Structure 1
Amino acid sequence: MSIASETTGQVAREEKADKADGTARRPISRWTILRALAEIRIWWRDGVVADLDHVATVERVRGESLLTSRYIFMTAMSAGIAILGLLLSSPAVVIGAMLLSPLMNPIIGTGFSLATGDAGWLRRCGKALIAGSIFAILFCALIVFLSPLQTVTEEIAARTRPNLFDLLVALFSALAGSYAVIRGREGTIVGVAIATALMPPLAVVGFGLATFNWTVFGGALGLYVTNLVTIGLTAAVMARLYGFQSDLTHRQSRVQSIGIMAIFIALAVPLAFSLRTIAWEANGQRIVNQEVAEAFTDRARVEQPIVNWAAKPVTVSASVFTPEFNPSADTDVAERLAERLGRPVVVTIDQFQVGTDPRAAEQAALAQARAREAAEASERQIAALGRSLALIAGVERKDVLLDRENRRARADARPLEGLTLAGYRELEQRLENSTPGWAVELRPPLSALPEISVAEDGLDSANAGRVALIAWAAQRSGVRVSLSGSEAALQAVTGALGDDTRLFDTRTEGEGNTVVADWSVATE
């Protein structure tokens, strides 16, 4: 006898007994609940699961979750778009990378292979996942390594601190994605790809690898693993719930279910602590804003305080535009914050006196914000200039000299096979043109100098360009150049050099029209 028929009979007997003895209707019994659950189970089995074409669904998911050339190509394109969007801090570009990412398919395939107990399919999905992930990381790292932009943007920083909310986003996305695959409504997978965002965290891993920023690398890798594991295990649970049969025994299925639950708990516990830390900092930021504002009159305007929670003690810096100075503001605010936060705090408040008109404070705040924005933009420009100059010179960033006062940048270039003096000068000019207001000096290696041919009517444009190139090399290197040739040829060359002749030594030799240029020091 089935559970449904047994529970139905039991409930009927209880209701008959109630009517016979005239007693009032009793509360819902355990058998009533069991019968309801049994009826739901029958409805699910006959009304939902029975309508599915399990074989066709498995074959469709299997075909889309394997390692193919299309999968690798789309992974590369998605990774490239993702890392460029992250470097540019462009959410629109990052979303475009999410839409192209094919990583969802092998992850869903992993879940289905777990549910059906197909070890061969599971190995092939794992191979596709590992190959796609490593390829994406290395491709992004290459792009970052070759890019002059290597700053941690807001889009990058947002993917370095996984928390419990990220686990929930992955869970809900996996539920929707698994349902879309099982019910044959894969169009929904686009929205799932946006919500889960598998590719951007992987691109940030590549960024951390290229810049040797292991904090970024570890945080982004943790977020990616969280999404990957959550989607895979949720897909396995959904597949089993929809009746995809497994070759596992009852005991093995139970062990698998316990293992899935244990993994979810293992992920949730540290992520919950991370979320708790983020929540504490958010509440702390609110307390800091409140205490700094209360230290001044209502006519004052307080800029958003900057809090460094990682510092010991915690540091708080803020700017206030006020008609009345508060000389004890720093110590008073620090004492109240230490009491409310339970941590020692150091407070630095820059007070700017303005008129009594409230609009004066707003205008002063706006002016300072614009000045701060301009200063930050200038610093970003200088940082980018330093990184770019180090890149084209083939040296470390610390070997680049940046003179902010005179707005000059200088670096000594390492010899690069196949790059001539003209190539070094072209790189210098390109970088200088991209940074208006700055003088860029790239000191080239002492490579071979070109010969100069002097025609009867003087120097043509090509040879005049060689003279200018030699003069540039002498100026940048600070090494004197020796010119040797006939008297007439030397006069034509020195006439073209003008004031730069002080950097040259001349030696009259022969009667030809060729002038040979050599460094006055021995070169390898």
Structure 2
Amino acid sequence: MNRRGTTFMNSKSDNPQHHSFAYVIFSFRRWWRSSVVNTVDQADVIKRRREEGDLSARYLFMLTMSAGIAILGLLLSSPAVVIGAMLLSPLMGPIIGLGFSLAIGDFPWMRRCMKALAVGTVLSVAFCALVVLFSPLQTVTAEIAARTRPNLFDLLVALFSALAGAYAMIRGREGTVVGVAIATALMPPLAVVGFGLATFNWTVFTGALMLYVTNLMTIAFTAAVMARLYGFRTSLSERQTQLQVFVIVVTFVALALPLGYSLRQIAWEANVSRQAKSAVMDNFGSRARLSEMDIKFDATPIDVSATVLTPELMPEAEAISRRELHRLLNNRPLNFTLTQYQVGTSATAAEQAQLSAAREKAEADASQRADELAARLALIAGVPDSEVIVDRERRRALVRAAELDGAGLAVYRALEQRIAATEPDWRVELLPPAKALPNVALNEEGEPSDEGAKALNLIAWAAGRIDAPVIIDGPEEARKKVEQLLLARHVAVRDGKNAKGDVQARWATPDE
């Protein structure tokens, strides 16, 4: 009795923190089970997840439309259009279902989710490739290039999206916003895979595919971990054999390989980036400041540029830094550019120089963006780049379009709107040929119908681009009404001589 008491007291006195820590862990687990896990209706959650993860006609249609919108947004380099694609994407259902099926060991459910993902992926890639094949725009835009390789930020987007998605599913708070978060990490890379396939750009294809698979597995694994934390457990029925469990584990490991490779690559790049900054700054004194450093690991050769603000210029710094960077990159081909700005010793002088460098970079980026805009306008208008007029100061771009077979004024206006949507800060004008103007339909009250209103808008747009008077023919009362509406849109109109039939619009000839 005494011996037991002595032993207990010695054990307690030997490591009092151990017992305190164990008590905290035990208390937390007890609280988690009673206040969190027991409040989740697991049967209801599993039921709803099964319904949303199956392969269906609605799933395939919405996924195809989402992929189509995403690839158009990427081709136009329009983030707003890409976000619109995410609103339609139904990828959340089968991916979260895959995570839950892994957590509870439900092999048939996991197989259905993987089938839905596989079929949806192939269909989306094929549809995006088809859109790109028939598109006049097949250049690698900034939005496409940004999704050709996984990096740490892409992985964090997928991780946080999965945490939000799994939590919302478990707590019964799922909605469109959660689906958009999941689609953010998956739909754009999937569309870029289709672009790479259509253009036979295997660098883009493989990079985007790796990003898609990495994000997909990150979301699925995170969902599985969240499900386990909330008490969802493996429960084998009589039909589920140990062989099925083995298959699940093997599948889990096999699918984790791309994620493991990506994590290894991300860790290597992060480490090289950190060491590269030190390698450059070791050539300068403590008063020098690294203003900017950019490493493009996906370029061939690898492109590294750095900008340093220093009180004293170091002529040998670039050569020494290049040798050290070459070693850090395992002797891979390297292009290195070091820009030095000599500044005063005060902090204010360094900050002013840093602002000047940032302004120069912003101006260079704006110039490059203007050149890209001119190239896209020339491609759509069917003219050489030299025919595009670009005013960088006023942010205005203008081009006179060539004659396109079978294209009416509505087609030219739609082309202009597509380009303008990608450059909201610019005034983009596509000058069309003087194609036939549409008739203006009026309703019984003498007001423009829906089609009539569209016709008026098209006439006003065309008149503003071509800068020519418009003649209105038709019954006098209806003609006067249309003329008033066009005058309100600052269109130069003239009375026509034909007072019969519907209200018609046409371009004035030199004699008229």
TM-score where L is the length of structure 1: 0.55
The answer to whether the aligner puts 1:292 opposite 2:283 as a matched pair is no
| Native 8 Å contact 2:308 2:339 kept in 1 | yes
CA–CA separation in structure 2 for the residues paired with 1:429 and 1:104: 32
Describe how 1:170-189 pairs up with structure 2 within 5 A. 181=169, 185-187=171-173
Q: SS state of the match for residue 406, structure 2?
A: coil
Describe how 1:8-407 pairs up with structure 2 within 5 A. 54=43, 59-67=47-55, 71=59, 75=63, 101-109=89-97, 115-116=105-106, 118=108, 126-127=115-116, 130-131=119-120, 134-135=123-124, 138=127, 142=131, 152-153=141-142, 159-162=147-150, 181=169, 185-187=171-173, 193=179, 197-198=182-183, 200-210=185-195, 212=199, 213-228=201-216, 242=233, 246=237, 248-250=239-241, 254-309=242-297, 315-338=303-326, 342-343=330-331, 347-355=336-344, 357-393=346-382, 400-401=385-386
**Per-residue deviation, 1:383:** 0.9
Deviates more, 1:218-227 or 1:105-114: 105-114
**Per-residue deviation, 1:224:** 3.1
CA–CA separation in structure 2 for the residues paired with 1:189 and 1:406: 45
**Per-residue deviation, 1:410:** 8.3
CA–CA separation in structure 2 for the residues paired with 1:220 and 1:175: 23
| Native 8 Å contact 1:403 1:409 kept in 2 | yes
CA–CA separation in structure 2 for the residues paired with 1:429 and 1:227: 33
Q: Using the aligned pairs only, state the percent identity.
A: 41
Q: SS state of the match for residue 303, structure 1?
A: strand
CA–CA separation in structure 1 for the residues paired with 2:163 and 2:343: 57
RMSD: 6.0
| Native 8 Å contact 1:137 1:202 kept in 2 | no
The 1:204/1:414 distance shift into structure 2, 3 A limit, reads farther
The 1:375/1:219 distance shift into structure 2, 3 A limit, reads same
| Native 8 Å contact 1:139 1:206 kept in 2 | yes
Gaps of 5+ in 1: 1-14, 28-39, 450-461, 472-513, 517-524
| Native 8 Å contact 1:160 1:216 kept in 2 | yes
Describe how 1:431-442 pairs up with structure 2 within 5 A. none
CA–CA separation in structure 2 for the residues paired with 1:318 and 1:109: 45
Could you tell me which residue of structure 2 aligns to residue 33 of structure 1?
Answer: none
CA–CA separation in structure 2 for the residues paired with 1:172 and 1:403: 44
Q: SS state of the match for residue 362, structure 2?
A: helix
The 1:142/1:339 distance shift into structure 2, 3 A limit, reads closer
Q: SS state of the match for residue 313, structure 2?
A: coil
| Native 8 Å contact 1:208 1:214 kept in 2 | no
Q: Deviations over 1:241-275 (max 9, x none)?
A: 5466646243xxx2222222223323334433332
**Per-residue deviation, 1:300:** 4.0
Q: Deviations over 1:5-53 (max 9, x none)?
A: xxxxxxxxxx9xx98xx996899xxxxxxxxxxxx9xxx9xx9899967
TM-score where L is the length of structure 2: 0.56
| Native 8 Å contact 1:171 1:230 kept in 2 | yes
The 1:84/1:360 distance shift into structure 2, 3 A limit, reads farther
CA–CA separation in structure 2 for the residues paired with 1:383 and 1:199: 25
Q: Deviations over 1:480-523 (max 9, x none)?
A: xxxxxxxxxxxxxxxxxxxxxxxxxxxxxxxxxx999xxxxxxx
Q: Deviations over 1:137-163 (max 9, x none)?
A: 73697499769796543x655544347
Gaps of 5+ in 2: 12-28, 437-458, 469-508
CA–CA separation in structure 2 for the residues paired with 1:147 and 1:318: 37
